[in-house]
Structure 1
């Protein structure tokens, strides 16, 4: 792995989740040299299982990633543990710097760093996150079906979230918390669906024997709930791209920040693609994996087009191509002899 970092590769994939490993798998099978650099901080680490993923429903996240890493390595890809601190351009290539001082040069970059969920400042939310404090009904709704569920008003999509969770349970309570200003239309929607609205600030969670039993309001009232849905502010992990002039931007929906791309995953920076939650904040594991695979195919096609252009140039002017090859050999020989 260290040797590949020193010698460079066709593609560096930053982030080893579903999108990154799927992209790396496609590239490795396309006989590209690929290095995945992963910091080991998956968004779904606290979840018991990955749901809604065909043929792998319920698989623990760590197990799914381990299988993915093994598959990438089986085709010659490299998976390196490390945190990327920055990326800069060097001539026609990109240099990816790691926190431990290592660096790897790549012809293309696929960013699949995911996002960070910013939770409201309510005691107990972070500790219960991914267990009985949830965000996605498609990921966790079945596991809490028919239970008393609370929805904490915490973002522009909170009412939408409450209406979605109503599909899994008829016993829903909407806590206005610090966002009491519901529109008339929202009041009517919640009432029509039988969702109780509770005003007042939420002080914290009531937990007994490591299980959520209720939501405690600032006035001391306890509302019995066994699950709480929270719409987080989702922020793309994009700090490492600042050296390329690429930064996360506010998402049009108002739910957080993302890295914009075109339909192929290509960013505004030449040679850089992005896939998964870093650009699609709502993507589940299956969608993220598909996006990573699709972006990888586009990267391979882009490399192929570049190589074809060079081959055509060499075909048209073989003497120039031989001269450049000879010069490259002389430079390499000189470096080996300390010249």
Structure 2
């Protein structure tokens, strides 16, 4: 991936992404807390319903007892009424028993009202228990919707900040020239991808004054900088192609460490060399060559290195002199 913005714009986009991530963390925590509160609320209402059921049973027992006491009190009052008609008890004594009957009736009515109140509260709580899962689901759905929206916003923010580049084929990334967070030059390659099981070849860049006598099929002796020729020897290759057009020196400069002296010799022609072997032998084992290795090369012409061909014009001048 690669940043599409830099400087203040890139920093602002990163700040937006960080803000969205913090909001996501807050929403995730709120969802977890809401789930816990919902469970507590559900269990609390169930306990209330159970308590009301217990209270209702107690009131029913008290009502039954009050009915029995009312019947008993009424019987006593009736006997006192008979006795009072025979003047065995006073009117005040009869009135006392009749008042007791009235008190028991009032007590029964009070218990009935309490029973109705408890039943109404129990009915209300049961209705809330039925609606509670729907209300909780609605609340959670709202939080999850907000979380999903923030995820979409994060994806959009990251899309503005990054571009995903997919390689056209499987392979190995080599010659990585950048680190995470570093600035990049749009004119310089960031890395190279060597296709899996690819055949490596060497690329040479010759100044225009040196390419005239180079031909396809010429033998090339290669010395890899990673494997000094003093220990590993020179490795053969064959010129397989020569570019028809020259490359500007500035373009060649982006390909690796090129000296200013060489830059002044441009433009350059690209010469492709087919390697005789994809490995090099040393220290009793064979090492596979890697993409991006730098090398020195001598193109053999009439069994002479190229640098001697460069001296040929001087020899011609000497003969004329």
Which structure has the highest helix share of the two? Answer: 2
Bigger relative CO (Cα 8 Å, ≥ 6 apart): 1
Whether TM exceeds 0.5 here: the answer is no
Normalised to the residue count of structure 2, the TM-score between the two structures is 0.23
Which of the pair has more CA radius of gyration? 2
**More strand by percentage:** 1
Query: TM-score scaled by structure 1?
Result: 0.22
